[in-house]
Structures are given as structure tokens and as C-alpha cells.
Chain A
Amino acid sequence: MRARSGISILLGLVLAIAGMGGASAQQTIKVAYTDPLSGPFAQVGDANLKQMQYIIDFINAKGGALGKKFELVPFDNKSQPSDALIALKSATDQNMPFIMQCSGSNIAAALIDGVNKHNDRNPDNRIIYLNCGAVAPELTNEQCSFWHFRFDLHAAMKAEVMVRALPKETTKVYLINQDYLFGQSVQRELRTYLAKLRPDVQIVGDELIPLGKIKDFSPYITKIKASGAQALMTGNWGPDMNLLIKAGIDAGADLRYYTFYAHLAGGPTAIGAGGDGRVLSVMSFGENVAPELGNKEAEEFTKGFRDKHKFDFSAAGYRTIFEYLQAAVNKAGAVDATKIAFALEGMTIRDFLGFETTMRKDDHQLISEYFVGSFKKGVKYDAENTGLGWATAATVLAKDVDQPNTCKMKRPR
């Protein structure tokens, strides 16, 4: 008898504590964030995390959503799909309504699959996958899912932006890409859009390189020069991009470099002053966009990050993500993944730079403006203390990247 009452007291205590835990969990809207936070790509995850934290603090200061604050919960996935799925499991165990992931389309594909299965099996504990940078076009076409929302333009859209930025005088281009899923899709899309938009342009070389294996790019530069190319187009990132451009500049090759990722962490440092006026990058944002537009508020916001951290702020797109979340949660009226997902569909928001953006209903792909930055001297905010920075060479509006899709969306009842 006595033992039993002891157990019931214990049980009551446990329930009370669990209840308290539940209550405090309800006060914030948790967003699980999984990206490499250790290993060779740790810099990517680390930089993202700091920028997101800055943005979340800002959104929370503006009231969060439904009177609750957003909270970022990081999980290291070591660039491994299996670890990302473990993060997903922890997130759903703690009833988090969102999981966010930015780098690696292979990881994104695994997450989409995992989220679909989880949401089918657990209708009362669903989770939305916010994709902040995995850009394989397949993810919103063949593989599209109701629970997946992509907040960055996909590779085909970026390829179109890059081709549109090619000046009239350029008629000979050389393509170099990394030999894996992403690099191959960039190669394919660049060929498609060059043929469609610029039939006058001749592709004088088209090459795939082994991912992260090349230490000396000089032989490639020799080959590119011999081909007579005026511009090099590449989706390479990390050392494969840095070393390629460095080798080209060292050899004094008369080339312009069209890249996807030269503006990201480490790129400007590696390129250096030799790249003045030669390197272009397709980007969602650059620190000089706001002053060029004369948008004081956006400039202040960007500068606020610079004052706190030692590296550049490149993640304006993340602010758009949280503005969408804020609006969608408010519109849904509850922190409920299904309701929020329906609220996000077709939503339009004017982003902080003043451009119209839409979360396309058919495939959950964000359609937003995009920029092509040119790396040069004499800009207001330089990149990574190199004295050079990204000036906007071209602005492509949302309506110009509104490519068709093949998604057959299955919505829950």
C-alpha cells in the first residue's frame, strides 16, 4: 500500500515535470537546423548558423509569431545523409515543427524522403522541411513533396541567370564542373540555356573534374587558353573554385569567370586583387545591393551583422525564410505543421530589399529576384577585407526566373 502510494507520488511528480517541460517548449517555435558543423565543410554550416541566429534575433525582436519566439536548434550532420536523418528523428521526437538544411542535394533528397514517411505515419506530429540551399532541380520536380519548401533558386534557374548575364561580345565559353550530381546538373542546364537564349555562343570546351581532387589547375588554364574561350562558366565551389580562378589569374589568362559560389566564405580571400573586374557570381544578395538601391534600412541591417562578426553577410535569403515563417504561422493561427504548410503555399512577400517574392504553389519553389555580382575595387563594402567587393552587375527579377516545373504535388487531406 505504502509502496503503491510512493509510486503514484513519483508518477505524479514525473507528470508534473513533463507538463512543465511541455509548457516551456510551447513558448518557442523550434527550428531544427542541420548542416555540417564539423569536418572539411564546417565553415559552411558555421557561417550559416551565425547569420541565421542574427536574423532570428531580429525577427524575434519584431514579435516572432503568435507571441512566440523562434528558436534555432543546431544538429551536426557531418555532410552525411544518415546523420541528417538522425537529426530529423531528434527534431520530431521533440515535436519541432520545422527542420532546415542548406548544403547538399543528396542530403536534401534523403530528408525529403524521411519527412514524407514520418508525416504519413504520424499525422499528429508533422514536420516541414525548409530547404535553404540544396539546389538540384529534381527536388522540386520529380521528387517534389508537400512538406518541402525551397527558399533558394534551383540550379536551372541560376544557370539561366548566369546565361542572361553573359555580355553580347562574349561568343566563346568554356564549361568546367565537378563530376557529381550537382556539377552535372549545372553542366546540363548551362548547355540548355545557352542553346535557348544565346544561340550565337559557342561552347569551346566542356569538362567535368573529379570533386576536390585537383591541386593544380594550371593545366586546365593552359587548355582553356588554347581553346580561345573568352569566358569560363563553372558551378564549382570550395577549393575547386578557388584554385581554378587563382591559377587563371596567375597565368594572366584573358578570361572572365562566371561562377555560382565565388562570393561565399573564403572565395574573395582566395581570388584576391588579381581578380579585379574578372570574376562574376550569381548571388541571392551582396552587401552592396542595399546601398546601390538606396535602401537605408536594409543597409543598416546588413551592417549590424558586420559590426558583430568578422565575416561578410551573404544570407539575405535566410531573412526571407523567417519572414515567410512568421507570416505563415500567424496566418495558420497555430503552430501546426499541416496548417503552416497550407499557409505557405502561394504566399507572396515583399522582401526587405523591396522585391516581390512568391512561394510557388505548384512545386513549393521560391521565386525571387537574383543578382549577378562583379568582384571589383571601389565598392562601399569590401569582401573579407580584400579591398574588393561585389558590385551588382545585373539584377534578374522574379518573373524572369519563373521556369515551368513538372511537379505532381500530393496534398494531405
Chain B
Amino acid sequence: MEVFVVSLLNGLVYGMLLFMLASGLTLILSMMGVLNFAHASAYMLGAYFAYTISLYVGFWPALIVAPVLCGLVGAAIEMWGLRRVHRHGHIAELLFTFGVALIIEKAVQMTWGLLPVPYRVPELLDFPLFRIYGTQFPAYRAFMLLISALMFGAIWLGLTRTRVGLVIQAALTHPDMASALGHNVPRIFTLVFAAGTALAGLAGVIGGNYQVTEPAMAFTMGPIVFVVVVFGGLGSLTGCFIASILMGLIQTFAVVFDVSLADLLAKFGITVTASTPFAEILTVTLPRIGALLPFLMMVLILVFRPRGLMGTRDT
């Protein structure tokens, strides 16, 4: 019970962090069809910007300023780079964002150095909020949950209850029609790209001190975010939300259950010994492959339900 409750909380926090990252990417991917490899780089930039800003004016202004800066970087990339590449098709866009990701990483290394930077949780939130079965639950994690929940609410309201949101939704599914009706679709693209990057930046601001701010953070976070987006389905914020929480919980609980396929077979009266075929694979315990489960699930969903959990069209 104790392990279950604590793991549930941990899984929720991690899932919400994933959601903050993935929500921006899912907007960009479903609207522009761009598989933005530089998305996790925006996450890293958010963390580094927040670190530098917090050195001068503290964490709270950084919480606002750093995502805005990331959004500006995103807008610049879209307006002066992606838009030109767009006419050469998706492969060109893909390669372009891949290049941008590498450039950002190198730029970060050259600006802030190769070592992790001491970006810390603000003192106001640096205390254990409550204890549960002897394990502290840091206030900062509750804050992360709060921010991401607010963000989910804001995006959802923005997309469904505002005029801009409706135009975005229209441009999502019928870009030509929206354009024909007099809406400036390229500007909407820029807006969405900037907003998506800003969201990733916000995730970086609150994820950078929860984890460690270092130049490799983009590359470690990148793949899992793609998994979430594909799993959740294109064009669906709800799907993305469910997928994020699911991935967070799966990775958390996989660690806790020390079971292997051999244990499962034992229930049916089959004992696995060293001489059994595939004994190596059968005796691998769940925690050892826990981090790979999301990728396995992505493969499965691509085979059996290519549009993802709640997707409106095929990937």
C-alpha cells in the first residue's frame, strides 16, 4: 500500500511533466505535420534561460520570462527557417529541425559549458509538503502538478472557447479552407509553433531544477516525448494527456514490480531453468526493461491502432 501510494504520486508528477512537453509537440505535429526534433531542445533552453535569469532576478520572474524567450526563439525558427523549408516537403522539415536541435545543443555547450549548472528549486518551495509513510513529498512537486494542471486547463479553454482557438482547430484539419476564408494561415502556424516552443520552455523551467540542467537533457528527454505524442494520437490534446499520465505511471510502477516472464510461467506450472530456451529473456525482471516499455507500447499501437489512442487521423 505504502509503495503503491508513493509510486502513484511519483508517476503522476512525471506524467504531468511529460504532458507539458508533449502538449506543445502534439499541437505542432498535428497542425503543421512537422515532426519537430528541436522540441526537446526548447525544453533544455527553457531550463538554461531560467537558470541565468534566476541568478539576477530570482525564480518567479524567470517562470514567465524564460518561456517567452523560448517562444520568441520558436517564432524566429518558424518564420525564417521552417517556412522556407516547408515547400520542400516533410523530409526537409524533419532534417531541418534535426539540424536545429544539434545547433542548439552545441550553442548551449558553448554558452553554459559542458558541466551541469547549479539551477536549484526556489527556497520558498524547498520544503517537504507532507510526509506519506515516512517519505517526503517535496512542495516543489506539488507546484509542478499545479502548473501543469493550470496549463492543461488554459490550453483546453484557449482551443475550444476562443476565436483564435477555433481558427487553429480549423487550420488543423482544413488549412486550405481556412486560408480561403481569409485567415492568415502562415501566421497561425508561427503562433502555434511559438506557443508550442514556449510550452516546452515552461516545462524546462520547472523540470530543469527538478532534474539536472545539463547539455544532454534534451537528448534524454526527446525520444519519450515522441512516444507520448504518437501514442496519444494526432490532433488530440486529451489523448496526449492520457498518454503522458499512462507513460509516467507505467515507468514508475515497472520499477516496483520485481517480476519476470518466468514468474508468470511458474503460475502455469512451467519452471524456467538455465537450460530452458530463451532463459535469458524469460528471467529478465520488469525493472530492468521498465524504461523500454513505452517504446514497446509505441510499436504495438502503431501496428494495431495507427491513429493512436484518441487520434483523429492516421500517423
Contacts and interface: CB of A to CB of B under 8 A. Distances in A.
A219 B253 contact: yes
Given A246-B212, A266-B214, A219 B7 contact: yes
A23 B118 CA distance: 49
A215 interface: yes
Given A214-B291, A216-B10, A222 B3 contact: yes
Nearest to B138: A250
Interface stretch (A39-47, A338-346, A353-361): A39-47
A311 B117 CA distance: 12
Interface in A210-253: 210, 212-216, 218-223, 225-226, 239, 242-243, 246, 250-253
B152 interface: no
Given A40-B219, A250-B136, A218 B212 contact: no
A179 interface: yes
Interface string B191-210: 00000000000000000000
Contact of A252 (B3, B114, B128, B252): B128
Contacts of B216: 40, 239
Contacts of B310: none
Nearest to B120: A272
A212 B211 CA distance: 13
Interface centre among A42, A218, A270, A385 (most CB of B within 10 A): A218
Interface string B1-26: 01100110011011000000000000
A385 B256 CA distance: 36
A401 to B, nearest CB: 30
Contacts of B6: 218, 222
A272 B126 CA distance: 13
B222 to A, nearest CB: 11
B289 interface: yes
Interface residues of B, number: 41
Interface residues of A, number: 39
B117 A269 contact: yes
Label chain B's interface by main secondary structure: helix
Interface centre among A220, A222, A311, A386 (most CB of B within 10 A): A222
B288 interface: yes
B114 A269 contact: no
Interface centre among B120, B221, B255 (most CB of A within 10 A): B255
B160 interface: no
A207 interface: yes
Contact of B118 (A40, A220, A225, A272): A272
B288 A179 contact: yes
A265 interface: yes
A208 interface: yes
A266 B115 contact: yes
A219 B120 CA distance: 21
Interface string A265-287: 11001101000000000000000
Contact of A42 (B114, B224, B288): B114
A28 to B, nearest CB: 28
B135 interface: yes
Contact of A239 (B135, B212, B253): B212
A208 B288 CA distance: 6
Contacts of A269: 115-118
B220 interface: yes
A204 interface: no
A209 interface: yes
B166 interface: no
Contacts of B211: 215-216, 243, 246
Interface string A337-376: 0000000000000000000000000000000000000000
B269 interface: no
A43 B11 CA distance: 31
Nearest to A225: B135
Given A251-B136, A269-B116, A213 B291 contact: yes
Nearest to A179: B288
B220 A212 contact: yes
Contact of B288 (A210, A225, A226): A210
Contacts of B220: 212-213, 215, 239
Interface centre among A219, A225, A251 (most CB of B within 10 A): A219
Nearest to A250: B138
A314 to B, nearest CB: 13
Contacts of B290: 210
B271 interface: no
Contacts of B120: 272
Given A239-B220, A243-B211, A250-B136, A219 B115 contact: no
A216 B252 contact: yes
Interface centre among A208, A212, A250 (most CB of B within 10 A): A250
Contacts of B10: 216, 218-219, 222
Contacts of A42: 109, 114
Given A212-B220, A215-B220, A266-B214, A242 B252 contact: no
Interface string A77-111: 00000000000000000000000000000000000
B114 A226 contact: no
A46 B292 contact: no
A40 B116 CA distance: 12
A242 B209 CA distance: 12
Given A218-B13, A219-B10, A384-B118, 19 more contacts: A210-B288, A212-B220, A216-B10, A218-B14, A218-B252, A219-B11, A222-B6, A223-B255, A225-B134, A239-B220, A242-B116, A242-B212, A246-B212, A265-B115, A266-B116, A266-B214, A269-B115, A270-B116, A384-B115
29 contacts: A40-B219, A43-B115, A179-B288, A208-B288, A210-B290, A210-B291, A210-B292, A213-B220, A216-B10, A218-B6, A218-B10, A219-B252, A219-B253, A219-B255, A221-B135, A223-B3, A223-B255, A239-B214, A239-B220, A242-B116, A250-B138, A252-B131, A252-B135, A253-B135, A266-B115, A266-B214, A384-B115, A385-B118, A386-B118
Interface of A: 40, 42-43, 46, 179, 207-210, 212-216, 218-223, 225-226, 239, 242-243, 246, 250-253, 265-266, 269-270, 272, 311, 384-386
Q: Please provide the 10 A-B residue pairs with the shortest distance between their CB atoms, ordered closest to farther.
A: A43-B114, A252-B136, A213-B291, A219-B255, A218-B10, A219-B252, A266-B116, A216-B14, A222-B6, A40-B216
